[in-house]
Structure 1
């Protein structure tokens, strides 16, 4: 039931492009270990010589990870075959805007000239990631390369809260676009209608709760 009702949101949010040669694989921190696994896969396939991983602690990693997301993901990347010398870490960013700004600054300090980037994050935040790049670094050509997965396989919390998180992502796009942090996104009417239905319908045995701020 959740997949059927939430699929219009998922299809809109989970932007995915075919990978192409780039200067960097730009990884957004989170609790999802499928993200560094995908980045390592892209690196091993030769799509870019450098992996940047950015992120401090988020709501879902603060009490779960022993170190900032960037450092935990770095260790995963190395375990999956990415040499330490190919990884640039940025462990201070606490939101997507900071991920992009701080991550690009870290790459600049490392002497990496970024003109093309492959973005890797949880699928449902990919639209916001690319919209942030479009606003903050419009000269960088980006492609969204999230882990290849389905909506059902990506549910990382109680289903009602996951549905609420997808709805909240649309609100973030509206608010951050109005604030000038991202390129404004035209959300299709059918996606807004699906979000409204999720907001007022029981999901997984309970009404969709309000999603708190967080990843």
Structure 2
């Protein structure tokens, strides 16, 4: 069992802050809620809908090794059910149950919107907080015609970590997202983004400490 030190948490906070885009949420013609292991993403989507941030949302996501146990019928399906339970009307929701990665989240959601006659000029990307930067970079690469606006639960790293079953897994997954921000531009999956030296050093320290479960493999 990994003992999480305060030094580890300091580095995790650097990664957390980096992955937040800091966008001001504003009304968009449509939203895309990316699947993941946190049902709170669907809660945030419902809150933003009720606040008038968008009229239509695509819940996108199948299952993965990280989510299969919690969302056996698929991330999008479970997220939709959560949103309905929180008062979102069914006619404000489109379902995309097949995506297994962020690129497919964006591409497949775009197709679902197009099939419904929707060609928005901006989209609200709703995700886990530490997934914002990867979602933004992926959307800019695959759908350059739209302006992505990132939104998540407004929460600090420490508060979010307390909500999770396992802080080690949280840091592992945040490392995975950061690694993809660094590496995916080389593979044509995302736009290039500057990674500050302090973030790179924090990433390297955490990697040495064994937070490598969700890193890309060569």
Task: Calculate the TM-score normalised by the size of structure 1.
Answer: 0.90
Q: Is the 8 A contact 1:88 1:110 kept in 2?
A: no
CA displacement 1:86-140 (0-9 Å, x = unmatched): 1001000000000000010011112222111111000111100000111111110
More divergent stretch after superposition (145-154 vs 34-43) = 145-154
Between the aligned partners of 2:112 and 2:67, the Cα distance in structure 1 is: 22
Between the aligned partners of 1:33 and 1:85, the Cα distance in structure 2 is: 21
Paired positions, count? 208
The correspondence for 2:97, drawn from 75, 91, 94, is 91
CA displacement 1:46-77 (0-9 Å, x = unmatched): 11110111000022221222411111111111
The correspondence for 1:145, drawn from 124, 145, 151, is 151
Q: 1:103 to 1:119 in 2, by over 3 A?
A: same
- Map 1:111-190; keep pairs closer than 5 Å: 111-155=117-161, 156-190=164-198
Between the aligned partners of 1:181 and 1:96, the Cα distance in structure 2 is: 9
Q: Is the 8 A contact 1:122 1:147 kept in 2?
A: yes
Q: 1:190 to 1:209 in 2, by over 3 A?
A: closer
Partner of 1:59: 65
Gaps of 5+ in 1: 201-206
User: What's the secondary structure of 2:193's corresponding residue?
Assistant: coil
1:50 and 2:50 aligned: no
- Map 1:77-88; keep pairs closer than 5 Å: 77-88=83-94
The CA deviation at 1:141 is 1.1
Task: Calculate the TM-score normalised by the size of structure 2.
Answer: 0.89
Partner of 2:3: none
Partner of 1:212: 214
Shift >3 Å, 4+ stretches: none
Partner of 2:19: 13
CA displacement 1:22-67 (0-9 Å, x = unmatched): 1112100112111011111111011111011100002222122241
The correspondence for 1:30, drawn from 33, 36, 50, is 36
The CA deviation at 1:196 is 1.6
